[in-house]
């Protein structure tokens, strides 16, 4: 079977180094070794999280620039906006009709909103949030993807995608592959400035596409304990060290650990982290500046990308419509 990679990033807010390390970089590496790859901007997913029109609009451009600056090759990979492929939302409805409410009740994205905000689930949870795993399943299944690179937080959604695919295949006949999540090794959830998972929703990010000064300022904000220079420090559970681990070799980590034990100051430790991250992000930033001045080019790339994938989605949807009985009268 052809290996078909697919992944998306929700277009709310500014892409951050968690997105880069957890999704963009591994996806691009996987794409280099695969026959086919699909990368998209999940803009309909963004509406679940925000009603701020400007935020959605600007985030589409930023997330597109993040992919392109990180090295996405649009000659080799399909690159498109979710909302340009209307077949996805049509499939979303068809799949909604075979997905049990009980399956969605278990979705942690919806459950965590309830537990974090102590909101009344009957009033505060939109249907979009509740049934979001079905839209995600539609993104994946419409292209019969085989491998979906995602962060740990998305594993459950991939399991649900498989459940939905199995159910559809069982009722209507085998049409969907059962896609696999491709997850970075354990422990690669990138921590944010406050030690929680780095996330646009938590306001604790280090932006991917910032200038050097902003990067330095973000790193300076990483929360640490108040041990003085010269006092031995423990690298376990340290936010600076956890971020360092994501960019360094094992050898560098051993020597950084020793510097902790020898009492490195937080200022010095953060400087080391900055130099490391900056070195990795420099080429990304250069490409970003080049593309940022040509937004029309980025837009054209996305439109061209949509034109290339739409026939694939349309053919799949036609098969599905036939199977469920929504075909033309002949």
Distance CA 130, CA 106 (A): 10
Contact between 87 and ligand TRP per CB under 6 A: no
Q: Where are the alpha helices (DSSP H) in 201-265?
A: 212-220, 239-245, 250-261
Contact between 72 and ligand TRP per CB under 6 A: no
Distance CA 280, CA 215 (A): 12
> Least distance to ligand TRP from the beta carbon of 45, Å?
5
Contact between 42 and ligand TRP per CB under 6 A: yes
Count of CB atoms situated within 10 Å of the CB of 36: 17
Put the strands of the sheet holding 4-10 in their side by side order.
78-81, 36-42, 4-10, 147-150, 180-183
Contact between 26 and ligand TRP per CB under 6 A: no
**What character string, x for contact with ligand ADP (CB under 6 A) and - otherwise, covers 174-213?**
---------------xx------xxxxx------------
- Phi/psi for 250 (5° steps) reads -60, -35
Q: Which does 177 bind (CB under 5 to 8 A by kind): ligand ADP, ligand TRP, none?
A: none
**What character string, x for contact with ligand ADP (CB under 6 A) and - otherwise, covers 15-44?**
---xx-xxx---------------------
Q: Which does 190 bind (CB under 5 to 8 A by kind): ligand TRP, ligand ADP, none?
A: ligand ADP
- Of the candidates 3, 11, 46, 47, the one whose C-alpha atom is nearest the C-alpha of residue 27 is 3
* 9 in Cβ contact with 41 (< 8 Å): yes
From candidates 142, 150, 238, 302, binder to ligand TRP by CB under 6 A = 150
> Least distance to ligand TRP from the beta carbon of 40, Å?
8
**DSSP-based three-state secondary structure for 299:** helix
Interface positions with ligand ADP (CB under 6 A)? 9-10, 18-19, 21-23, 150-151, 153-154, 189-190, 197-201
Interface positions with ligand TRP (CB under 6 A)? 6-10, 42, 45, 136, 139-140, 148, 150, 154
């Amino acid at each position: 079977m052809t290996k078909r990679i697919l992944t998306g990033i929700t277009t709310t807010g500014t892409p951050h180094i968690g997105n880069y390390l957890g999704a963009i970089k591994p996806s691009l590496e996987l794409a280099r070794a695969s026959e086919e790859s699909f990368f998209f901007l999940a803009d309909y997913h963004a509406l679940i999280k925000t009603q701020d029109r400007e935020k959605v609009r600007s985030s589409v451009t930023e997330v597109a620039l993040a992919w392109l600056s990180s090295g996405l090759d649009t000659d080799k990979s399909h690159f498109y906006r979710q909302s340009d492929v209307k077949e996805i939302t049509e499939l979303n409805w068809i799949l909604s009709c075979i997905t049990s409410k009980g399956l969605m009740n278990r979705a942690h994205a919806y459950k965590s909103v309830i537990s974090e905000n102590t909101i009344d689930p009957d009033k505060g949870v939109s249907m979009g949030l509740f049934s979001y795993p079905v839209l995600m399943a539609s993104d994946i299944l419409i292209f019969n993807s085989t491998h979906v690179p995602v962060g740990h937080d998305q594993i459950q959604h991939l399991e649900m995608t498989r459940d939905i695919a199995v159910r559809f295949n069982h009722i209507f006949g085998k049409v969907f592959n059962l896609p696999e999540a491709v997850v970075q090794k354990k422990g690669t959830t990138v921590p944010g400035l406050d030690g929680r998972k780095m996330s646009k929703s938590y306001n604790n990010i280090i932006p991917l596409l910032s200038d050097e000064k902003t990067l330095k300022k973000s790193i300076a904000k990483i929360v640490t304990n108040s041990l003085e220079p010269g006092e031995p420090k423990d690298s376990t559970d340290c936010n600076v060290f956890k971020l360092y681990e994501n960019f360094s070799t094992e050898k560098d980590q051993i020597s950084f650990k020793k510097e902790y034990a020898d009492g490195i100051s937080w200022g010095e430790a953060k400087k080391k982290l900055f130099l490391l991250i900056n070195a990795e992000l420099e080429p990304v930033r250069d490409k970003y500046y080049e593309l940022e001045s040509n937004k029309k080019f980025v837009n054209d790339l996305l439109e061209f990308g949509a034109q290339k994938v739409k026939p694939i989605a349309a053919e799949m949807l036609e098969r599905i419509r036939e199977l469920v009985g929504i075909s033309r009268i002949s």
